[in-house]
Amino acid sequence: MSTQEIRNLIKRVEDLEKRVEKIEKLLKMRKEIVKEVIAGDIINRFQTLDLSQYPYVHELKGLPLFLWIIKIARDKFNVDGLSPPEIAKICKEKLRRSHGVSRMRVSNVLRDAKYYVDRVPRKDGKGYIDRIMMESEKSLEKEIGRVKRDLEEKFGE
């Protein structure tokens, strides 16, 4: 093989490496877009939820509220588990709450609620989701019942 042929091969390899880099960047961008679409999808689904069916939801705070969101995601939208950022965004976008619903607060509350949620890694390996447990559903139903009774006493409904 001549020197010129070797130079040509080296040039082709360098060109191919540049193409591979571009493809890798595009694939990374695609993954990020898909992730945003999936996360955005559950937020959009919650936007369609008729809250008049759940008048008590505005009285829920902290863990019961976060469990309610996870339960609704599963029962109404067939999404088994949400990440803390998704829960925080639903609180802000759908429920119009900002106080006490940051991504970090949601994460800390659910992390401390070991017996109420099952924290599992996401399928994409980035972060985790929290899934509601049977015991927490029972506890949530009791809390919702208490809130409903309080609302009935307060407003005489």
The ranges assigned to domains in the chain are 3-155
pLDDT at res. 157? 56
pLDDT at res. 130? 93
* CATH class label, 3-155: mainly alpha
d(CA 71, CA 69) in angstroms, rounded, equals 5
d(CA 1, CA 5) in angstroms, rounded, equals 6
Q: Which residue in 13, 15, 74 sits closest to 42, CA to CA?
A: 74
d(CA 53, CA 100) in angstroms, rounded, equals 24
Average pLDDT over residues 44-62: 88
Which residue is associated with the tokens 């919702």?
A: 144
pLDDT at res. 132? 92
pTM of the model: 0.71
d(CA 102, CA 87) in angstroms, rounded, equals 9
pLDDT of 76 strictly over 80: yes
